[in-house]
Amino acid sequence: MGFQIPKIRYTGRINKITIGHGTGSITIGGESCYPFYLFEGEMPNPPRIAFEVWDHEPQDWQEWALEPYRDVIHDSTLWARKCIDTYGAQAIALQLKSADPNGMDADVDSVVNVVRRVVDALDVPIILWGCGNDEKDALLLKAVAEVCEGKNVALGPVSEKNYKQIGAMAIGYNHVVIASTPIDVNLAKQLNILLGNLGVSDNKIIMDPTTGGLGYGLEYTYSVMERDRMAALTQEDVKLQYPIMCNLANEVWKTREARLKKDDEPKLGDEKRRTILMEAVTAVTLLLAGADIVVMRHPEGVLLVQNIIKELMA
Amino acid sequence: MALTGIQIFKLLPKTNCGDCKFPTCLAFAMALAAGKTELDLCPHVTEEAREELSEASAPPIRQVTTGTGDYEVRIGGETVMFRHEKTFFNKPGFAILIEDTMKNNEVERRFSQLNSCQYERVGLILRPEMVALKDTGNKENFIALVKRASTEPYSIILMSSDTSVMKEALEILKTKKPLIYAANHENYESFGSLSKEYNCPLTAKGNGLEDTASLVEKLINIGLKDLVIDTSTRTLKEGFQEQVIIRRAALAGKYKPLGFPTITFPCEMTDNLMKETVIASCFVAKYAGIIVLSDFQGESIFPLLLQRLNIYTDPQRPMTTQEGIYPINNPDAASPVLVTCNFSLTYFIVSSEIENSRIPSWLCVMDTEGLSVMTAWAAGKLAGDLVGTFIKGCGIVEKVERKRIVIPGYAAAILGDLEEELPGWEIIIGPREAAHIPTFLKTMKQQ
């Protein structure tokens, strides 16, 4: 008996989403098969990696995380430029962490000032990621949408609680929204429907499934993404046919095993290489589950993952 | 694939003799279909029927074991493409390559890495479990390596294409059940005989999918059952796709010649350990049985062990942490006490955030049957009276001076009941998100 590859007949396709404007824009999505199953479908747009940049100087980063950015980390604009000019970043995710009411609680105006300076200085697509507090993000991202007019940025996280405010501004200023739900297929679908009803078009939505780092819930994110893709591609669930973004950097770098030094626990090995690998393995695992954009921190980890994407797509 | 009760019934004697202790053949057939009894209980079933039934009940991917004792490695036996469809059962074995050209101290370092790269987590030991011994033509060295490996508990892969060398090695390891690597189209008969003689699983090393399948068919025809597949592909794109195709051909296509676990060689796909690790992670997710690596460094094997733990965690069963008091950052009698549920992920995240805060604290983990805070609260497993009883009985009372506990923000509604249950205690509602714990603890300390 001759061998024939049993193929899946995919009935759906992921929407294509463009972020950024002009020559600096990127398009993600468009897949007609499971991630990298190129023997039976296509991935017209390779998954992308965005470098994360914070809106303020981080206080608790490991030395080996600071190392690539030490000269620029005090200034978000210089930091972002270094990611692009030195490390070849194709996209920037600006994390608006200072706004967190449970943290620095910076006021909206001051955060928006940072956003304005960074956005004006960049020519790559930008993701603007709020602090995760629904009320604060509603105010913050509304204002951000306004100052980013014409840049076609991606705004997130947009939740069930604040999708109306942020969604309306995104429509008004023609931005992409990142719909964020807590590791659940039905909640993800529900929020996409709500955004659709509000008038956000299908080529303006990216999904954030909520990301768990390696050893800290990665498997939940992994399986929910696989279920999202299964529904989108084989069960004609049009309300799940959106690209997926995973904001993974901080989920990995904040963990205990990413902070311990070799001197603290010799059998964990070199701390820098270990953390870079923990970040890269998390990213690759999520890419295999269907991520279209992953947000990463360390340039060496980015390079490793970039190469894996290139080889899987070769 | 599994037969229905009616299909099985047709193959039974239909005499309703009752020798199987079931009242009728139909009842017996139904129990068989449900996997609740064994065909052997029927003394009258014909040989043909027995064969047909055992063929039909054989798993689509053969489960193969290598090694013995603590370090026995079980691979294959998988039944789904996606872990959420059921679970993945047998995690891939990680092997470190040891070649016959390596110096003695390098060989010793490699063996010792298996012993030192062991990590405790959720009450489990995460560790690599295999050595791959490679004969590159230095027979004397290779045999010395085999002898050295025979004194260790680890599962062994014997890599040689020379039948006489393989036989000598198997003779040394005959009680250790090593994996033989590898039979090809030229030597499959002699390697097949060795596999049978020593009762050791055998790798079929073909060239691409189709060629490998034809080699496996030859091996099946000479009576071999415990096989492992190597397609010889060493590029990532093709290697990855082949893993998917092999799994799918076996499960969806019922294609017997590919119904076996696979072995992969990231060590032959790059000479950079960082890159090799990330390549290996592709095969952990999809769908290797064994992953042979050029080296184990703490920094390279630890992320892979964590990833393997995550991917192979049974999604049908929540992982739990043992109920009890966990001291973090060396707390004393003045340190704050926090309460949370025993869903392991919650425990990990909460304890990691407390550790990040660097503030000495007591974390009391309560048995909520593996439910997270919000679900446990909704299901009444984190009710005020239960938490109160737990706090009184867990022993924390003897450890702190100040009667004060912090409950999760998502369980704020139990405050009233808990105050009633714990008179004289100060009960503080903590943050909803673990990420806010460090700030919370710092503020609490200042007050």
Per-residue pLDDT, averaged over A15-24, amounts to 95
Looking at every residue in chain B, the average pLDDT score rounds to 93
pLDDT over 90 at A153, yes or no = yes
- Judged by a CB distance cut-off of 8 A, whether residue B317 touches chain A is no
To probe the interface with A, which of B255, B306, B348 has the most A CB atoms within 10 Å? B306
Q: B144 and B238: one domain?
A: yes
Per-residue pLDDT, averaged over B116-135, amounts to 93
Domain finish residue from B288, B311, B334: B311
Contacts of B297 in chain A (CB under 8 A): 269-270, 273
Q: B84 and B208: one domain?
A: yes
CA dihedral B411, B414, B415, B416 (to 10 degrees): 160
Which one of A39, A102, A268 has the shortest CB-CB distance to B299?
A268
- Judged by a CB distance cut-off of 8 A, whether residue B235 touches chain A is yes
> Is the CA virtual torsion B189, B191, B195, B196 positive or negative?
positive
Which one of A226, A278, A304 has the shortest CB-CB distance to B275?
A304
Smallest CA-to-CA distance from A159 within A190, A128, A202 is with A190
Residue B370's pLDDT band, with cuts at 50, 70 and 90, is confident
- Name the token pair of B337: 């006490």
Q: B286 and B340: one domain?
A: no
Which one of A37, A273, A289 has the shortest CB-CB distance to B274?
A273
- Check residue B257 and give its pLDDT: 96
Which residues in A214-232 are b (16+ Cβ under 10 Å) and which e? bbbbbbbbbbbbbbbbbbb
Per-residue pLDDT, averaged over A177-197, amounts to 96
- Check residue B122 and give its pLDDT: 72
- Judged by a CB distance cut-off of 8 A, whether residue B302 touches chain A is yes
Comparing alpha-carbon positions, the chain B residue that sits nearest to A102 is B436
Q: B406 and B286: one domain?
A: no
Q: How many CA atoms lie within 13 Å of A44's alpha carbon, on the beta-carbon side?
A: 14
Residue type, A5: I
- Name the token pair of A64: 């080996």
Smallest CA-to-CA distance from A179 within A164, A196, A163, A199 is with A163
Contacts of A314 in chain B (CB under 8 A): 235-237
Comparing alpha-carbon positions, the chain B residue that sits nearest to A224 is B84
Per-residue pLDDT, averaged over B376-391, amounts to 92
Please write down the HEC assignment for all residues of chain B: CCCCHHHHHHHCCCCCCCCCCCCCHHHHHHHHHCCCCCHHHCCCCCHHHHHHHHHHHCCCCCEEEECCHHHCEEEECCCCCCHHHCCCCCCCEEEEEEECCCCHHHHHHHHHHHHHCCEEECCEEECCCEEEEECCCCHHHHHHHHHHHHCCCCEEEEECCCHHHHHHHHHHCCCCCCEEEEECCCCHHHHHHHHHHHCCCEEEECCHHHHHHHHHHHHHHCCCCCEEEECCCCCHHHHHHHHHHHHHHHHCCCCHHHCCCEEECHHHCCCCHHHHHHHHHHHHHCCCCEEEECCCCHHHHHHHHHHHHHHCCCCCCCCECCCEEEEECCCCCCCCEEEEECEHHHHHHHHHHHHHHCCCEEEEEECCCCCCHHHHHHCCCCCHHHHHHHHHHCCHHHCCCCCEEEECHHHHHHHHHHHHHCCCCEEEECCCCHHHHHHHHHHHHHC
Residue type, A307: N
Q: How many CA atoms lie within 13 Å of A239's alpha carbon, on the beta-carbon side?
A: 13
Smallest CA-to-CA distance from B244 within A288, A31, A222, A313 is with A288
pLDDT over 80 at B402, yes or no = yes
Per-residue pLDDT, averaged over B286-314, amounts to 97
Residue A72's pLDDT band, with cuts at 50, 70 and 90, is very high
Contacts of A39 in chain B (CB under 8 A): 241, 245
pLDDT over 90 at A78, yes or no = yes
Q: What's the rounded Cα separation, in Å, for the pair B56 and B323?
A: 44
- For tokens 């070799």, name the residue: A262
List the strands of the sheet with B227-230, edge to edge. Answer: B227-230, B202-205, B179-183, B155-159, B130-134, B93-99, B290-293, B263-264
Which one of A262, A267, A280 has the shortest CB-CB distance to B278?
A280
Q: Which of B46-50, B173-177, B283-287 has the lowest mean pLDDT?
A: B46-50
pLDDT over 80 at A2, yes or no = no
pLDDT, greater one: B320 or B298: B298
pLDDT over 70 at B100, yes or no = yes
Cα angle for residues B422, B427, B432 (degrees, 5° grid): 130
- Count of A-B CB contacts under 8 Å: 170
Per-residue pLDDT, averaged over A91-102, amounts to 96
pLDDT over 50 at B1, yes or no = no
Per-residue pLDDT, averaged over A237-262, amounts to 96
Q: B127 and B151: one domain?
A: yes
Number of residues that make up chain A: 314
- Check residue A103 and give its pLDDT: 86
Distance from the B78 Cα atom to the nearest Cα atom in chain A, whole angstroms: 17
Query: Does residue B317 fall inside a structural domain?
Result: no
Q: What's the rounded Cα separation, in Å, for the pair B312 and B88?
A: 6
To probe the interface with A, which of B82, B112, B299, B432 has the most A CB atoms within 10 Å? B299
Number of residues that make up chain B: 447
Q: Is the Cβ–Cβ distance between A296 and A249 less than 8 Å?
A: yes
Beta bridge partners, B292, equal: B95
Q: B347 and B278: one domain?
A: no
Which one of A6, A227, A256 has the shortest CB-CB distance to B253?
A6
Looking at every residue in chain A, the average pLDDT score rounds to 96
- CATH number of the domain encompassing residue B415: 3.40.50.11600
pLDDT over 80 at A7, yes or no = yes
Instruction: Let me know if B444 is exposed, middle or buried by CB neighbors in 10 A (0-12, 13-18, 19+).
Output: middle
Per-residue pLDDT, averaged over A16-21, amounts to 97
pLDDT digits (tens, 9 = 90+) for B242-270: 999 999 999 998 899 999 999 999 999 99
Domain ranges of chain A: 16-313
Pairing of strands B324-328, B361-366: antiparallel
- Judged by a CB distance cut-off of 8 A, whether residue B303 touches chain A is yes
Per-residue pLDDT, averaged over A170-192, amounts to 96
CATH domain A16-313 topology: TIM Barrel (3.20.20)
pLDDT over 70 at B2, yes or no = no
pLDDT over 70 at B35, yes or no = no
- Per the CB < 8 Å rule, is A223 touching B277? no
Query: Does residue B127 fall inside a structural domain?
Result: yes
> Is the CA virtual torsion B148, B150, B151, B156 positive or negative?
positive
Residue B3's pLDDT band, with cuts at 50, 70 and 90, is confident
Comparing alpha-carbon positions, the chain A residue that sits nearest to B313 is A219
pLDDT over 50 at B62, yes or no = yes
pLDDT digits (tens, 9 = 90+) for B71-85: 999 999 999 999 999
Query: Does residue B119 fall inside a structural domain?
Result: yes
Q: B298 and B437: one domain?
A: no
- Check residue B29 and give its pLDDT: 87
Cα angle for residues A217, A219, A223 (degrees, 5° grid): 130
Which one of B298, B433, B435 has the shortest CB-CB distance to A274?
B298
- Name the token pair of B391: 């706090």
To probe the interface with B, which of A234, A284, A304, A309 has the most B CB atoms within 10 Å? A284
- Check residue B71 and give its pLDDT: 97
Q: B267 and B353: one domain?
A: no
Q: Is the Cβ–Cβ distance between B293 and B301 less than 8 Å?
A: yes
Number of domains composing chain B: 3
Per-residue pLDDT, averaged over B17-23, amounts to 90
Q: Is the Cβ–Cβ distance between A219 and B315 less than 8 Å?
A: yes
- Per the CB < 8 Å rule, is A267 touching B210? no
- Check residue B227 and give its pLDDT: 98
Q: What's the rounded Cα separation, in Å, for the pair A312 and A60?
A: 35
- Per the CB < 8 Å rule, is B307 touching A281? yes
Domain finish residue from B252, B277, B311: B311
Q: What's the rounded Cα separation, in Å, for the pair B99 and B292?
A: 13
- Judged by a CB distance cut-off of 8 A, whether residue B432 touches chain A is no
Pairing of strands B290-293, B263-264: parallel
Contacts of B279 in chain A (CB under 8 A): 308
Q: B37 and B77: one domain?
A: no
- Check residue B348 and give its pLDDT: 87
- Per the CB < 8 Å rule, is A278 touching B255? no
Q: B263 and B391: one domain?
A: no
CA dihedral A129, A131, A135, A141 (to 10 degrees): -30
Residue A196's pLDDT band, with cuts at 50, 70 and 90, is very high
Query: Does residue B318 fall inside a structural domain?
Result: no
Residue type, B75: I
pLDDT over 80 at B189, yes or no = yes
Phi, psi of B215 (to 5 degrees): -65, -40
Q: What's the rounded Cα separation, in Å, for the pair B313 and B261?
A: 19
Residue B345's pLDDT band, with cuts at 50, 70 and 90, is confident
Which one of A268, A274, A312 has the shortest CB-CB distance to B237?
A312
- Per the CB < 8 Å rule, is B84 touching A223? yes
Q: Which of residues 116-135 of B touch A (CB under 8 A)?
A: 116-119, 121
User: Cα A168 vs. chain centroid, distance in angstroms?
Assistant: 21
Q: B176 and B283: one domain?
A: yes
Cα angle for residues A265, A269, A274 (degrees, 5° grid): 115
Contacts of B237 in chain A (CB under 8 A): 36, 38, 311-314
Contacts of A304 in chain B (CB under 8 A): 274-275, 278
Residue type, B16: N
- Name the token pair of A213: 């780092």
Q: B288 and B233: one domain?
A: yes
Smallest CA-to-CA distance from B378 within B410, B334, B419 is with B410
- CATH number of the domain encompassing residue B218: 3.20.20.20
Q: What's the rounded Cα separation, in Å, for the pair A123 and A139?
A: 26
- Check residue B34 and give its pLDDT: 72
> For residue B8, how many other CB atoms are within 10 A of its CB?
24
Q: Is the Cβ–Cβ distance between B117 and B135 less than 8 Å?
A: no
For residue B37, give its domain range.
5-57
Evaluate whether ipTM surpasses 0.85: yes
- Give the CA distances from residue B205 to residues B134, B135, B158, B230, B300, in Å, rounded to whole numbers and listed in that order: 15, 16, 13, 5, 27
Q: What's the rounded Cα separation, in Å, for the pair B310 and A218?
A: 7
